[in-house]
């Protein structure tokens, strides 16, 4: 096969093409390579295949929908599926968050939420609120808005002059003092105070539209929020009229045992983004869930006409919505959110069983998200992590390197035997790694 024409995203193309890793098919917890080798998916592929691969209800729904209505626009035209899916999503969302806007991806969801926040303030006569606050090491996708509020240096570096200038960042919460914490670290809630003590006095609350937070910073290296930290951010935002956006692209759909991280932490944000697990990865779909008060500002606006000048050709695409409905049915039928919660204790044991192995400097976890952090090789950051990833793949387990951390995020259908295989394989690899 000619590999030269496909410019692969977020990939070291030259390294990959020199030693490709290809998959041919997938079922439940496993990929199958073209040579017929099974590889356990320890990362729900990209934190998205929450129901497992090629689940019958989901693929049947996509097949049937493709034959019935391939596409219909949602611009001043309707078809039943996005309405039905929005109703199902609203039923799973936190109380008072019932309005769903569809996009095709998490990146689009983030930029949509940022635009909604600014438009909301303007409609309420607070048009000076145009500034966004993000956090170091957060990942909010790759569009200009999401990249600007994001805090992953390598994603920002080449575009420094293109990033939005109306953005400030809070410090990230990772600290060596919290190494090997099980679940949420005990120390660090006071890092939230930076919002009230530095950022708000600097910019003035009357200029700030929204704070965006990924409740668990997954792609930024699996950073678990300290106990009480997110609650404190919520309180500060409320006090100053700043909208709180939870970017739930990874934490949504049962990853922490509840439908969304918002419910896990007992926090009601003003806007929530989602993507990935809504279709278990089978068809691209994302969206924003808005609190009713935010939505009302648009619907109560004086004069008629379009309330929100925003949307994508494929917002509410029939195939994506059919996949979404079938995925939510699968979650419910198989009680996968409860299963995720039940399995999180065993998963935690697995993550922390890696403590004490060569080069391990931290193990951390929450729900079914976890990571082991390795000490970087002198002068070659990321190399040890990458080599560990490659060796795990060769031994039949797919996990993801993020710098020198290895991230774990199995589908919610994972049984103990699968978790044993993931952590057993990683342990074997770490023992052999220099």
Q: Which residues bind to ligand PLP, rule: CB under 6 A?
A: 105-107, 110, 139-141, 214, 218-219, 247, 249-250, 275, 286
CB of 214 to ligand PLP, least distance (A): 4
- CA angle (110, 114, 119) in 5-degree steps: 145
Q: Is residue 106 a contact partner of residue 249, using CB atoms and an 8 Å limit?
A: yes
- Tokens of residue 295, six digits: 């939505």
Residue closer to ligand PLP by CB (options 148, 421) is 148
User: C-alpha distances in angstroms, 351 versus 114, 135, 241, 407?
Assistant: 35, 26, 39, 10
Q: In whole angstroms, what is the distance from residue 127 CA to residue 133 CA?
A: 17
Is the CB of 163 or the CB of 427 nearer to ligand PLP? 163
For ligand PLP, the closer of residues 82 and 141 by Cβ is 141
Helix 80-92 and helix 318-333: axis angle, to 10°?
40
Beta carbons within 10 angstroms of residue 258's beta carbon: 22
Nearer to ligand PLP by Cβ, of 268 and 400: the residue is: 400
Residue with tokens 């199958």: 32
Q: How far is the CB of 251 from ligand PLP (least distance, A)?
A: 8
Listing DSSP states for 371-430 in one string gives: EEEEPPBTTBTTHHHHHHHHHHHHTTEE-EEETTEEEE---TT--HHHHHHHHHHHHHHH
The C-alpha atoms of residue 419 and residue 325 are separated, in whole angstroms, by 28
- CB closer to ligand PLP, 275 vs 360: 275
Return the number of the residue (145 or 352) whose C-beta is nearest ligand PLP.
145
211 versus 275: smaller Cβ distance to ligand PLP = 275
Q: Could you tell me if 404 and 385 are in contact, meaning their C-beta atoms sit under 8 angstroms apart?
A: yes
Please tell me the distance from the alpha carbon of residue 343 to that of residue 350, in angstroms, as a whole number: 11
Is the CB of residue 190 less than 8 Å from the CB of residue 181? no
CA 393, distance to chain mean position in Å, is 23
Minimum Å gap between C-beta 378 and ligand PLP is 30
DSSP 107-162: HHHHHHHHHHHHHHHHHTT-TT--EEEEETT----SSHHHHHH---HHHHGGGTTT
Cβ distance to ligand PLP smaller for residue 113 or 413: 113
Closest residue to ligand PLP using C-beta atoms: 106
Q: In what order do the strands lie in the sheet with 208-213?
A: 99-103, 286-290, 271-274, 243-247, 208-213, 131-135, 167-170
Residue 316 vs 430, nearer CB to ligand PLP:
316
SS3 percent helix, strand, coil of the chain, rounded to 5, is 40, 15, 40
Tokens 């998916």, located at residue: 41
Smallest distance, Å, CB 23 to ligand PLP? 19
In the complex with ligand PLP, the residue whose CB is nearer, 205 or 285, is 285
Residue with tokens 């009230």: 196
Q: How many residues does the chain have?
A: 434
Q: How far is the CB of 259 from ligand PLP (least distance, A)?
A: 16
Which residue, 234 or 384, has its beta carbon nearer to ligand PLP? Answer: 234
Helix, strand, or coil (residue 102): strand
């Amino acid at each position: 096969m000619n590999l030269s024409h496909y410019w692969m995203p977020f990939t070291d193309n030259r390294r990959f093409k020199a030693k490709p890793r290809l998959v041919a098919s997938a079922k439940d917890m496993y990929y199958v390579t073209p040579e017929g080798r099974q590889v356990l998916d320890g990362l729900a592929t990209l934190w998205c295949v929450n129901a497992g691969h090629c689940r019958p209800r989901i693929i049947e729904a996509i097949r049937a929908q493709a034959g019935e209505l391939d596409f219909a626009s949602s611009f001043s035209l309707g078809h039943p599926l996005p309405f039905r899916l929005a109703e199902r999503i609203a039923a799973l969302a936190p109380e008072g968050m019932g309005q769903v806007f569809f996009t095709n991806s998490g990146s689009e969801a983030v930029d949509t939420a940022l635009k909604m926040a600014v438009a909301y303030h303007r409609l309420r006569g607070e048009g000076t609120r145009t500034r966004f606050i993000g956090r170091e090491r957060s990942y909010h996708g790759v569009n200009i808005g999401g990249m600007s509020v994001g805090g992953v240096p390598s994603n920002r570096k080449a575009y420094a002059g293109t990033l939005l200038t109306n953005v400030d960042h809070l410090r990230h919460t990772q600290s060596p003092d919290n190494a090997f914490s099980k679940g949420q670290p005990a120390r660090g809630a006071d890092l939230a105070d930076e919002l009230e003590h530095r950022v708000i006095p600097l910019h003035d609350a009357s200029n700030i539209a929204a704070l965006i937070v990924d409740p668990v910073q997954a792609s930024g290296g699996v950073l678990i929020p300290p106990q009480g930290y997110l609650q404190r951010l919520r309180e500060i935002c409320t006090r100053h009229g700043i909208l709180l956006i939870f970017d739930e692209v990874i934490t949504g759909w049962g990853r922490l045992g509840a439908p969304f991280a918002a419910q896990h932490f007992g926090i009601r944000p003003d806007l929530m983004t989602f993507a990935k697990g809504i279709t278990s990865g089978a068809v691209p779909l994302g969206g924003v869930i808005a609190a009713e008060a935010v939505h009302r500002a648009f619907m109560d606006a004086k004069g008629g006409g379009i309330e929100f000048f925003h949307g994508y050709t494929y917002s509410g695409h029939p195939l994506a919505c059919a996949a979404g409905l079938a995925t939510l049915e699968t979650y419910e039928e198989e009680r996968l959110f409860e299963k995720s919660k039940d399995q999180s204790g065993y998963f935690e044991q697995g993550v922390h069983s890696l403590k004490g192995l060569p080069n391990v400097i931290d193990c951390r976890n929450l729900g079914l998200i976890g990571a082991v952090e390795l000490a970087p090789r002198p002068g070659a950051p990321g190399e040890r992590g990458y080599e560990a990833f490659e060796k795990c793949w060769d031994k039949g387990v797919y996990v993801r390197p993020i710098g020198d951390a290895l991230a774990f995020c199995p589908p919610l259908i994972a049984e103990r035997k699968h978790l044993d295989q993931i952590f057993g394989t990683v342990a074997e690899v770490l023992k052999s790694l220099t």
